[in-house]
């Protein structure tokens, strides 16, 4: 995934000019237009419906929806922010939120939250805490994702082995995986997308290691249990249970799963809707929680809605944010199957919507012990090196121990620079 490379000097300079933005609540006879930027193209239909409902309730506020693909979204947002014309409301992921929060691009929201008596405990803790800094909220939690083990029932049946269960351990995955690989020619037991959220950001903490300390100041890559988490994945490749890095570069994990080339993979909740609508996979897919290594913990990347600190229509922007993250709107997102809402009481509606095709409750269960995506203010400076170094492990060109030493060195230098 592309990371933001927003210059702090440029953002900080903007923060000083942001104070001049006026506030217009869009009430009375005056009509205002506010902009709302997102990157999730597949969510556009649901967003348009919610905007329609909002405008019906707030006839003096017009919302201009700006939908930009992921790869271009961050570049566009960076340019807008540094130019002083950031959207009034914009989507933010946990890869980059600290930079916007610390530099003053995002408007602090606590006064709005307190004024409207919004109980933030209604939202999943991992996404809520990700957008809190020094006791101040900088985004309203909108949706959240999680990772579960997806399996191909047809391949399990063909190999004559029982389906995975929520009680599976890592040893169960390895043992069953060996049987599948031996019995089914041309099929690998399991695969991971070569991306932290879908793989090692789960395996590391599940092995009792950590990527970065909670205060964001220390790398965990010198921890022996962190190395153990990396070895879990590299051993699968070494033992032939997982495709090589070269094979994964030729065909992505989802394509391999859909073409019956792998029996299991760690799937994001965002894949469920497509799988449920794929006729080739009808009745063939199942989901369970990730196999237990040492403890139950799962990474989750939650999306928040931020308000530009220099918005000229802050009260109108807040009305939109409050509406989009309300229980009513969150329930609509859930029942439409679009995304798992961050509002805890309506999460089950997302899972219920797939009950006639597949049980996806594992994704909701994972949220009970989820933690926020590992990040820091300038995470891009170490995350790219992290990914590139681990690719050498998956390719068999570097040992997990040496890779973790290298990542630790780079991360330590980057985190030290952040604190200066």
pLDDT tens, residue by residue, 234-287: 999 999 999 988 888 777 888 889 889 999 999 999 899 888 888 888 889 999
Q: Which residues, listed in sequence order, are joined to residue 63 by a DSSP beta bridge?
A: 34
Q: Is 385 exposed, middle or buried (0-12, 13-18, 19+ CB in 10 A)?
A: middle
Domain ranges of the chain: 8-144+302-342, 147-299+374-419
12 has a pLDDT exceeding 60: no
Fold agreement (8-144+302-342, 147-299+374-419):
yes
Give the Cα separation of 370 and 344 in Å (integer).
13
Instruction: Report pLDDT for 171.
Output: 98
Q: What percent of the chain has pLDDT over 90?
A: 74
Instruction: Report pLDDT for 218.
Output: 97
Instruction: Report pLDDT for 8.
Output: 41
Instruction: Report pLDDT for 22.
Output: 42
The more confident residue out of 222 and 17 is 222
pLDDT tens track for 36-51: 999 988 889 999 999 9
pLDDT tens track for 228-237: 999 999 999 9
Q: Select 147-299+374-419's CATH number: 3.40.190.10, 3.40.640.10, 3.40.50.2020, 3.40.50.1860.
A: 3.40.190.10
23 has a pLDDT exceeding 80: no
Mean pLDDT score, 366-393: 92
Rg for the chain, CA atoms, rounded: 22
**Residues contacting 408, CB < 8 A, separation 6+:** 219, 221, 222
Q: What is the largest CA-CA distance in the chain?
A: 72
155 has a pLDDT exceeding 60: yes
Instruction: Report pLDDT for 5.
Output: 38
9 has a pLDDT exceeding 70: no
Instruction: Report pLDDT for 28.
Output: 53
Most confident of 60-64, 103-107, 122-126, 133-137: 60-64
Mean pLDDT score, 64-79: 93
Mean pLDDT score, 370-394: 92
Mean pLDDT score, 174-196: 94
25 has a pLDDT exceeding 70: no
Mean pLDDT score, 381-407: 95
84 has a pLDDT exceeding 50: yes
Instruction: Report pLDDT for 396.
Output: 93
Q: Which of 313, 322, 321 is nearest to 33 (CA)?
A: 313
Instruction: Report pLDDT for 313.
Output: 97
Instruction: Report pLDDT for 316.
Output: 98
pLDDT tens track for 319-335: 999 999 999 999 999 99
Instruction: Report pLDDT for 252.
Output: 83
Write down the mean pLDDT value for the chain: 90
Q: What is the CATH number of domain 8-144+302-342?
A: 3.40.190.10
19 has a pLDDT exceeding 80: no
149 has a pLDDT exceeding 90: yes
The pTM of this model reads 0.87
Mean pLDDT score, 118-125: 96
């Amino acid at each position: 995934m592309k990371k933001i490379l927003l210059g702090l000097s440029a953002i900080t300079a903007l923060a000083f000019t942001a104070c001049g933005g006026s506030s217009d609540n869009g009430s009375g006879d005056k009509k205002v237009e506010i902009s709302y930027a997102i990157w999730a193209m597949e969510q556009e239909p649901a967003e348009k419906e919610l905007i329609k409902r909002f405008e019906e309730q707030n006839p003096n506020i017009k919302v201009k929806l700006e939908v930009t693909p992921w790869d271009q979204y961050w570049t566009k947002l960076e340019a807008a922010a540094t130019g002083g014309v950031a959207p009034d409301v914009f989507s933010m992921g946990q890869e980059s939120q600290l930079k916007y929060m610390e530099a003053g691009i995002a408007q602090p929201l606590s006064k709005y939250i307190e004024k409207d008596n919004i109980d933030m405990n209604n939202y999943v803790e991992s996404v809520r805490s990700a957008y809190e800094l020094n006791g101040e909220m900088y985004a309203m939690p909108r949706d959240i994702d999680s990772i579960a083990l997806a399996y191909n029932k047809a391949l399990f049946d063909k190999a004559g082995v029982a389906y995975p269960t929520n009680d599976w351990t890592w040893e169960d995955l390895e043992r069953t995986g060996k049987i599948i690989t031996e019995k089914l020619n041309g099929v690998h037991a399991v695969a991971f997308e070569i991306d932290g959220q879908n793989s090692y950001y789960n395996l590391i903490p599940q092995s009792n290691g950590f990527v970065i300390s909670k205060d964001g100041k220390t790398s965990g890559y010198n921890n022996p249990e962190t190395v153990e988490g990396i070895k879990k994945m590299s051993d699968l490749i070494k033992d032939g249970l997982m495709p090589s890095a070269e094979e994964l570069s030729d065909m992505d994990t989802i394509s391999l799963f859909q073409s019956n080339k792998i029996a299991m993979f760690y799937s994001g909740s965002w894949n469920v809707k497509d799988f449920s609508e794929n006729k080739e996979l009808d009745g063939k897919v199942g989901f369970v929680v990730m196999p237990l290594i040492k403890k139950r913990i799962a990474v989750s990347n939650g999306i928040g809605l931020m308000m530009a600190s220099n918005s000229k229509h802050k009260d109108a922007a807040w009305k939109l944010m409050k509406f989009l993250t309300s229980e009513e709107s969150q329930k609509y997102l859930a029942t439409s199957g679009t995304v798992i809402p961050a509002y805890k009481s309506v999460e089950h509606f997302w899972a219920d919507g797939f009950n006639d095709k597949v049980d996806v409750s594992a994704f909701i269960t994972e949220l009970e012990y989820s933690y926020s995506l590992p990040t820091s203010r300038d995470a891009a400076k170490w995350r790219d090196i992290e990914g590139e170094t681990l690719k050498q492990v998956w390719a068999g060109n570097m040992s997990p121990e040496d890779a973790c030493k290298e990542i630790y060195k780079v991360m330590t230098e980057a985190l030290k620079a952040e604190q200066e």
